Amino acid sequence: MEPDGDAARLGLGRAAQTLPPRLLLLPLLPLLLGRGLRVVAAASSSGAAAEDSSAMEELATEKEAEESHRQDSVSLLTFILLLTLTILTIWLFKHRRVRFLHETGLAMIYGLIVGVILRYGTPATSGHDKSLSCTQEDRAFSTLLVNVSGKFFEYTLKGEISPGKINSVEQNDMLRKVTFDPEVFFNILLPPIIFHAGYSLKKRHFFRNLGSILAYAFLGTAVSCFIIGNLMYGVVKLMKIVGQLSDKFYYTDCLFFGAIISATDPVTVLAIFNELHADVDLYALLFGESVLNDAVAIVLSSSIVAYQPAGLNTHAFDAAAFFKSVGIFLGIFSGSFTMGAVTGVVTALVTKFTKLHCFPLLETALFFLMSWSTFLLAEACGFTGVVAVLFCGITQAHYTYNNLSVESRSRTKQLFEVLHFLAENFIFSYMGLALFTFQKHVFSPVFIIGAFVAIFLGRAAHVYPLSFFLNLGRRHKIGWNFQHMMMFSGLRGAMAFALAIRDTASYARQMMFTTTLLIVFFTVWIVGGGTTPMLSWLNIRVGVDPDQDPPPNNDSFQVLQGDGPDSAGGNRTKQESAWLFRLWYSFDHNYLKPILTHSGPPLTTTLPAWCGLLARCLTSPQVYDNQEPLREEDSDFILTEGDLTLTYGDSTVTANGSSGSHTASTSLEGSRRTKSSSEEVLERDLGMGDQKVSSRGTRLVFPLEDNA
């Protein structure tokens, strides 16, 4: 019985100008599948020759639309069920403390399985005979009005199709349905992930390592991109000689590949770090690098595209174009950064100077809208929305968060946490699916092997020399074990995939996409499974209280020390950090915090006397009540971080590892974590009989004495 189908028929008949009403009951589909889904009304009934009766025609069109709508629902349901399955299995894994396979790896496996089923299990409903050619003048218009026996139909341009592909398009409707619009990744799935990363940044350790993080993210990514690009150009030349290359592959394509594959995404590693409470500085370095190099990779890849010299298709080196693209890089990056920071500051001011916190729902909604508008604003101004959203998230966490009501704090956290979780698992299960359902794969063994070697070398050339130079300036040296761990954790994930799928039109891009997909699979599974053994093998301490500084006298940790016993003093931050950081810190503490939040010293004390009136206006009355003494230590950061983690229960499930989930054990056991948490973790891990950890338990070095 198809009651609704009948219901919709006549409405549609009269309403051919708008969309078929049956379609309109499909919610959130545009959200996930974007344009990709709606592309082609199903062809099931269009094989017949042209009928004369317009009624029959309408009926056929409706049936098509209805069928298409149903297929859309089914394909989206596939994803939902996939995610549901993933969630249930994740729960099982967490329940049984299985650590060798992370949820993202799991999502990919399920995606692969469903992909295989879709690929080989569904009949190939080839969509022959539903397109017709109509030769036209020499320009493609965006809208086409087609006169069909007196009726006008409006068509919109979808894109160009290479002549060879005309017959292969739409070979399998179901495959086509599940292979959806790449823009969805950038427009819908990435922003919440990136915002969440920024919003739940562990600020203290992030800022303490800011210099190194920036170096890794900017210099390192650029180095890695350049090295991979050049190595791949060699590989491509080789392929040309061997005769493996069947189409054009320019130098800029190689550089582009370098850019998209340089964005690391150690989701798995960080999740395991979180669970095991691994060293917080290493965590900060890895996390900070991966968040920022996502942004760098986006901007870098568009700059490389822009680098292509003005005379089309020459693809040779051109100094002017090179400097132009460097300029573009800097322009876009700083513009996006500013935009994100400004929106964050505006939100902070609004939440500070209204009493919006009496109405948490309004506050949350405002917060959400402002964060979203960052993205749109950046896009409208020609900057990069994703980058803007990242810095907006950081600013929101640093300032606005303090102005929110308690309820809004947990509400915003949880909202973005859920969005992030869903988006991330969706991307990973989609990746699994794409390996089989994507219909334009170009598998080139030489290129793939070359790429694996290149990313290995690129990562090595990025981590080790940079660490060497950074160690020259750092008080807390980045030890060899940290460097090896960073080398090992250079796995590729969502961002590489999103950048690769963005454009799969040319032969070169298709080859890149396939290779990227395989690299992501390989690194996620291998590195994900190898993290725990690697940690113990490299003697990286686990079970660390993140608010605690590294133990001063423990010989097994050569890391982060370098300045001996004096580092146990009360005012570490000042000593540890570079002057730039100190400058920023005092500026932030003395001026920005009091202006933008209810905390910090009153502006009347920090601003010069002639600003008295302004200072009084901007300082909130609360400040005078709970005026913090100007402690020398970074109490400010600690406090804020304490706040951040306060509202967080168990969040090891946030795969990006960005949330304050070092309280996992706390919430599970219902007690505030104490300084002896390392023993607890040890006990827990051994007690649970987790074979993975306990088998190597002897090699895991725990700081068994309480360093407090």
Residues 622-681 close enough to bind a second copy by CB under 8 A: 649-651, 653-654, 668
Q: Tell me the closest approach of the beta carbon of residue 682 to a second copy, in angstroms.
A: 21
Among 117, 140, 617, 646, binds a second copy (CB under 8 A): 140
d(CA 297, CA 153): 42
Q: Tell me the closest approach of the beta carbon of residue 441 to a second copy, in angstroms.
A: 15
Q: Tell me the closest approach of the beta carbon of residue 139 to a second copy, in angstroms.
A: 5
Among 199, 375, 447, 513, binds a second copy (CB under 8 A): 375
Q: Beta strands of 194-351 (E only): which ranges?
A: none
The verdict on 13 binding a second copy (CB under 8 A) reads: yes
- For a second copy (CB under 8 A), the number of binding residues is 169
From the list 198-206, 326-334, 553-561, 606-614, the region that binds a second copy by CB under 8 A is: 326-334
From the list 299-307, 551-559, 578-586, 619-627, the region that binds a second copy by CB under 8 A is: 299-307
The verdict on 26 binding a second copy (CB under 8 A) reads: yes
Measured from the CB atom, is 73 or 590 closer to a second copy? 73
Measured from the CB atom, is 64 or 588 closer to a second copy? 64
Helix axes 54-95, 406-437, angle to 10 degrees: 110
With b for 16 or more beta-carbon neighbours within 10 A and e for fewer, the 526-555 pattern comes to: ebbbbbbebbbbbebbbbbbbbebbbbebe
The verdict on 338 binding a second copy (CB under 8 A) reads: no
d(CA 354, CA 344): 16
How far lies 696's CA from each of 280, 466, 480, 535, 556, in Å? 22, 31, 21, 10, 17
The verdict on 621 binding a second copy (CB under 8 A) reads: no
Q: Tell me the closest approach of the beta carbon of residue 38 to a second copy, in angstroms.
A: 6
The verdict on 326 binding a second copy (CB under 8 A) reads: no
Among 117, 124, 157, 688, binds a second copy (CB under 8 A): 157
The verdict on 39 binding a second copy (CB under 8 A) reads: yes
d(CA 342, CA 64): 48
What part of residues 106-135 is at the interface with a second copy (CB under 8 A)? 130-135
Which position has the token pair 């350049």?
A: 226
The verdict on 31 binding a second copy (CB under 8 A) reads: yes
From the list 162-170, 263-271, 516-524, 699-707, the region that binds a second copy by CB under 8 A is: 162-170
From the list 391-399, 443-451, 497-505, 677-685, the region that binds a second copy by CB under 8 A is: 497-505
Which position has the token pair 């004495």?
A: 705
Which position has the token pair 């595209």?
A: 305
Give 398's DSSP letter.
I
What part of residues 405-444 is at the interface with a second copy (CB under 8 A)? 407, 410-411, 414-415, 417-418, 421-422, 425
Mask: binding to a second copy, 194-233, rule CB under 8 A, as x and -?
----------------------------------------
Q: Tell me the closest approach of the beta carbon of residue 257 to a second copy, in angstroms.
A: 13
What part of residues 521-580 is at the interface with a second copy (CB under 8 A)? none
The verdict on 70 binding a second copy (CB under 8 A) reads: yes
592: exposed, middle or buried (C-beta count within 10 Å: 0-12, 13-18, 19+)? middle
The verdict on 316 binding a second copy (CB under 8 A) reads: no
Give 592's DSSP letter.
I
Residue-by-residue DSSP string for 339-392:
HHHHHHHHHHHHHHHS-GGGSHHHHHHHHHHHHHHHHHHHHHTTS-HHHHHHHH
Tokens of 225: 């991109």
The verdict on 167 binding a second copy (CB under 8 A) reads: no
Q: Tell me the closest approach of the beta carbon of residue 495 to a second copy, in angstroms.
A: 13
Q: Tell me the closest approach of the beta carbon of residue 282 to a second copy, in angstroms.
A: 25
Query: Which of these, 406, 371, 401, lies nearest to 389 by C-alpha position?
Result: 371
From the list 68-76, 281-289, 537-545, 593-601, the region that binds a second copy by CB under 8 A is: 68-76
| Residues in a beta bridge with 492 | 264
d(CA 273, CA 370): 32
Helix (H, G, I), strand (E, B) or coil at 50: coil
The verdict on 18 binding a second copy (CB under 8 A) reads: yes
Check if the beta carbon of residue 593 is closer than 8 Å to that of residue 642.
no
From the list 115-123, 219-227, 382-390, 395-403, the region that binds a second copy by CB under 8 A is: 382-390
Mask: binding to a second copy, 352-371, rule CB under 8 A, as x and -?
--xxx-xxxxx-xxx-xxx-
What part of residues 231-290 is at the interface with a second copy (CB under 8 A)? none
Question: Count of CB atoms within 10 A of residue 410's CB?
Answer: 18
Helix (H, G, I), strand (E, B) or coil at 249: coil
The verdict on 480 binding a second copy (CB under 8 A) reads: no
Q: Tell me the closest approach of the beta carbon of residue 108 to a second copy, in angstroms.
A: 17
How far lies 565's CA from each of 11, 280, 281, 570, 582, in Å? 81, 20, 19, 12, 22
Tokens of 486: 């960073």
Tokens of 665: 């054990």
